[in-house]
Amino acid sequence: MRSDRSLRGRVYKGGINLVASQIFVQGCSFVRNVIIARLVSPSDFGIASMFAISLSLLEMISNLAAEKLIIQATEGDAESFQATIQCLQFIRGSLIALVLFSIAGPLAHLFGVEDVKWAFQWLVFIPFSRGLIHQDMYRLQRQLRFGPSILVEAGVGVVVTIAAYPLGKWLGDYSAMLWIIVAQAGIGVLGSHIVAERRYRWALDKRVISQMITFGWPLLINGFLMFGIFQGDRFMIGVANRLFGRAIYTLSDLGVYSVAFSLVFAPTMLIANVTGNLFLPLLSSVPDSDSSFQRRYYFVCQTIALAGGLFSIPLIISGEWIIRAIYGSKYTSIGSVVAWLAAMQALRIIRIGPTLAAMAKGDTKNAMYSNIVRSVAFFGVVMIAAFGGSMSLIAASGFMGEVLAMGYCVGRLKNIHRIPMVACLKPAAMAGIFMVLGVVVVSAFHMSQTLPVSLSISVVTVICFLGGVFYMSNDFRKELIAFILKKPDMAEVHS
């Protein structure tokens, strides 16, 4: 019992620290994007978003999730294990840098910005430097010690955010974002070595390499799919003119869509990072105890669904006004795009629960297969772009893909690991009801909506959502209160 209470205390403390740090880190990222978006034109912001698209393509299709393996693997604390991971990460980063430098010209041509080739070449510094990251700050998360990684992420966020305004003011174009992300990568590597407790070294243990490949190959395929999910819509907007041989979307369109994406993606990353780092160790610590695992999984799913609903409802209802207030009047008429993207990301947030449960069981194929299903939506994006459809339809296509992926994810979890679907679908349904209500409200008040009315409706809808969640599950209400007050162990709440 004492060990359970100790675990609970560490989880609670780690959760508070993670929430605070991720709010800070994602807040810094959001502020940087707002600063650059306000200082440059929408077309320049569109070019800047091409850097993220290009890096994501190569990073995601080569990601073996080394930092997750160190947390999940039984022998992840061993020095030889860590040294092998670090060596493989350096090899990976070097190969990505080589490939990126080789295709810099074709990438610039594909996006129709041949004069920006030099910027794509400078991007090679980012994967190369990331390959030198010290993995010790991830290893320490096995003991729920999040301090080192929090310190690095927060430090990097502060430095590059402070630099954003003078760089943006001085350069006044897309190159400001280039130098910001280059500096971000370099400072992050330096920080990982400063907080490390072990000496940085390399090794090549064949057994660890085999384990990493076994663990990571589904995630490798999943990374390619993730590119299509996170960047596919923007990628298609950026290359549609070249791909289909006629003017369909402009760089300004790409910039405006990227602003909408940035608005909804920042809270998504906040929630994903917090819940992933906090709940994966919590679920992984009871992989063989079905009753304890399901009780913890139930709590995880309801907590994540609550976060997803609170994030999406205000954006669905008031997205247009929020964009104008934050980014300025040059980014307009994208309320429907924001609404669809917010609903899509809410479902993606809710899907984190069953994805973490599968990963805690050592099943990395769940995420891969779910994202294969999710990627069906990319074909819809291609067809919409080919016929010159609106950007709202592109965002709606992504939402439908998330619906399909959610169904498959919880279905596989039930069939393979005997985990009930209702644990995830019940809170997801509650969030979905109020997201639909948000869409109905937006449609009803669209012509006469003012900012005070919009914000008032958002507040009322969120309050109703909270009431519905707490009324729906008495057990969840008790468990959440116990979790906040550090009372009885969560594994006993449902017993």
pLDDT at position 147: 80
Q: What is the DSSP string of 44-99?
A: HHHHHHHHHHHHHHHHHTT---HHHHHHHSTTTT-HHHHHHHHHHHHHHHHHHHHH
Count CA atoms closer than 13 A to 114's CA, side-chain side: 2
**For position 148, what pLDDT does the model report?**
86
Domain ranges of the chain: 1-225, 231-490
pLDDT at 161: 92
Q: Using CB atoms within 10 A of its CB, is residue 2 exposed (0-12), middle (13-18) or buried (19+)?
A: exposed
The phi, psi pair for 61, rounded to 5°, reads -80, 0
Q: Give the separation between CA 96 and CA 242, rounded to whole angstroms.
A: 25
For 67-194, strand residue ranges (E) read none
Q: Is 475 left (phi over 0), alpha (psi -120 to 50) or beta?
A: alpha
CA–CA separation, 359 vs 352, rounded Å?
10
pLDDT at residue number 408: 93
Torsion of CA 177, 182, 186, 191, to 10 degrees: 20
- Return the pLDDT at 394: 93
Which has the closest alpha carbon to 340: 261, 393, 396, 384? 396
Q: Residue 72's CB: how many other CB atoms inside 10 A?
A: 20
Calpha distance 54→59 (Å, rounded): 9
Distance between CA atoms of 164 and 36, rounded to whole angstroms?
7
Q: Identify the segments of the chain with pLDDT beneath 70.
A: 1-16, 18, 60-65, 219, 222, 286-290, 442-455, 468-495
